Amino acid sequence: MKDTELYAALLHLRHPWRVTKVKVDIAAKRIDVWIEHAPDTKWLCPECHKQAPLYDHSEEREWRHLDTCDCQTFVHTRPPRVNCKDHGVKQIGPTWANPGSHYTMKFESHVIDTLKECDVTGTTRLTGTSWDEAWGIMEKAVKRGQFRKELRIPQRLSIDEKAFAKRHRYETLVCDLDRGTVEYVVDDREQASLEKYYSQFTPEERAGVKAVAMDMWDPYIAATKVFIKEAADKIVFDKFHIVRCVTEAVDKVRRAEAKQLANRGDESLKGTRHLWLANENNVPEWRKPEFDAIRKMNLKTGRAWAIKEALRKLWGYSYPARAEAFFSRWYFWATHSRLKPIIAAARTIKRHLPNVLTYFKHRITNALAEGLNSKIQMVKEMACGFRNREHYKTAIYFHCGGLDLYPRREQSEPC
């Protein structure tokens, strides 16, 4: 088999395209392949798809293709131009790449696959691309995916805030709980942030929303009440955020008490922070004896912890009336604990109780899309290499957006 035939087969070239020359440079680990069309080819105008005569050829162009063995491989051609009687002179794009791209679609897809498996720096090493090239492919893939995606509002939403970098900067993430995808990422966690998302849809479309899981965060509540009809029945305050509110109160009690004890030379609470913050089942086996022993010491922190752990039972009820009765007992206990942070947390939850109890109607939490949260966490960890917020958002959409990312030949798409 001749090298030109071999490459025509490897590149899946079909009439009218054929390989006319192959240049191998082993020292440079590089292979160049020249492609031309048959001289008697009948061309169609790319606009109207009617037959049009060949006009001339554009400058030679080069595309990076999948490597051959260990050699970077490039294909070259001079794209033909036709002269349509209605549309004038038009270039015929090659079938292996999108207009304007420096890569064949196969190579671009390979980089996308690699980006899905590791971070941008890892991708540059595995594919022999620069950071800007690999990043450019990711950005383009996200644009393409968003262009293709149908604009629709999910029936069951989750609204969550994620800290971006340090210094208390936040992004608001809107997720589709049924598909497990991030639908929208917007700066900050203000009312206006979430309203930007809702306002993309008509009132009829928004009426299709059945339930929204979120934290007890006033700006999100306000935005949802403005845009979603009967929001009072649809908002569900998320279980994990509610428990976290009490967990933070436990931590305040612990800090104050640890200080008091330390002043008396008692270091019982030293190094125990994580034990009180974890839920009971997550205390590591080897620390259980130690934890059991401090809990028997009748400390304020121990009482606060027991109140926090008891609250978790709320979500185990099947009937809302029973859950509500349980909450009343819990609330009495918490508010009579003489632990100020616990009393404050209990009052916050009580104030939001109707939409804590909507859980028993909709049974959603922010964590329903379980795999999604760990993916977002992974993107956040990789985000240390990102130079700005827009990069972070792009990476979230790329990994968690459920987008159709791969290049295809479609005339109407951006490239």
| 252 three-class SS | helix
Strand partners, 75: 33, 63
**149 contact partners, CB below 8 Å, separation of at least 6:** 401, 403, 404
Give me the residues paired with residue 185 across strands. 173
Q: Is the dihedral of CA 405, 126, 64, 33 positive or negative?
A: negative
Nearer to Zn ion, 45 or 182 (CB): 45
To Zn ion, the closest distance from the beta carbon of 44 in angstroms equals: 8
What x/- string results for residues 27 through 46 when contact with Zn ion is judged by CB under 5 A? ------------------x-
Q: State the minimum distance, in angstroms, from the CB of residue 16 to Zn ion.
A: 19
Applying CB under 5 A, which of residues 84, 173, 185, 339 lies at the interface with Zn ion?
Answer: 84
Instruction: Give strand pairing partners of 176.
Output: 157, 181
Minimum CB distance to Zn ion, residue 81 (Å) = 12
Q: Helices 191-198 & 218-227, crossing angle to 10 degrees? A: 30
Q: Among residues 55 and 333, whose Cβ is nearest to Zn ion?
A: 55
Query: In sequence order, which residues have a C-beta less than 8 Å from that of residue 245 and are 6 or more positions away?
Result: 216, 345, 348, 349
Q: Binding Zn ion by CB under 5 A: which of 70, 86, 117, 150?
A: 86
Omega before 354 within 30 of 0, i.e. cis: no
* Closest by CA position to 320, among listed 266, 359, 280, 290: 359
Note whether 76 binds Zn ion by CB under 5 A.
no
The 205-224 contact track toward Zn ion, x by CB under 5 A, reads --------------------
Q: Which of 208, 160, 150 has the alpha carbon at shortest distance from 182?
A: 160
| Residue range at the interface with Zn ion (CB under 5 A); choices 86-94, 96-104, 343-351, 372-380 | 86-94
Q: How far apart, in whole angstroms, are the C-alpha atoms of residue 79 and residue 49? A: 17
Residue 48 as a binder of Zn ion (CB under 5 A): the answer is yes
Q: Which is nearer to Zn ion, 92 or 115 (CB)?
A: 92
CB nearer to Zn ion: give 89 or 321: 89
Size of the site for Zn ion (CB under 5 A): 6
Length of the chain: 415
- Tell me which stretch binds Zn ion (CB under 5 A): 58-66, 87-95, 144-152, 163-171: 87-95
Is residue 47 close enough to count as binding Zn ion by CB under 5 A? Answer: yes
- Report if residue 82 touches Zn ion, rule: CB under 5 A: no
Using CB under 5 A, which of the segments 78-86, 111-119, 129-137, 407-415 binds Zn ion? Answer: 78-86
Binding region for Zn ion (CB under 5 A): 45, 47-48, 84, 86-87
